[in-house]
Amino acid sequence: NASNNNGRGILLASSNFTTIVNNTILSFNGSEGISLTSSYRNAILLNNITIYSYMRGSNKGISLTSSINNSIIGNNISSNLNISGGVGGGIFLQGSNYTFIDSNVIVTWNSSFHGIELIESSSFNNITNNRITTYGTEAYGIYLFNSISSSNDK
């Protein structure tokens, strides 16, 4: 799968009980690898996702918005933005709850590109056994903002 210019490699909107497994996704210029919106009880497993961009935009490996009770396990994510500014990173949750994030390998290459980012009331999530490498100023391995009761054991 490939996406370009603000697209998505895979998009699930209002989808439930779906498994996304063993895909190779290349996303370019402000795109997302896998995106779930208002979705419930899906599994994102063993995917290889590469984000490469010369423009500002979303630039996220896996993005969940307003989604509940999903699993993100064993994915390899590399996110690289070759321009200052913009947002992006490995795994991004916004208003998403009860997500299990385990055993992912994440590498980000830019300022403010976080490995795992939970914002805007993303709560009761479990973050375990992930290997995260960030290159760039203010790029955090795990970044929580306005999130409660999320746990991380490593």
List, for residues 94-126, the tens digit of each pLDDT value.
999 999 999 999 998 877 788 999 988 899 999
| Nearby residues of 7 by Cβ (< 8 Å), 6 or more positions away | 27, 31, 32
Section 65-79 average pLDDT: 96
Section 65-88 average pLDDT: 85
- The CA-CA-CA angle for residues 34, 92, 127, to 5°, reads 110
Amino acid at 109: W
Which of the two residues, 75 and 32, has the higher pLDDT score? 75
Residue 5 confidence (pLDDT) above 80:
no
Name the band, by pLDDT with cuts 50, 70 and 90, for residue 42.
very high
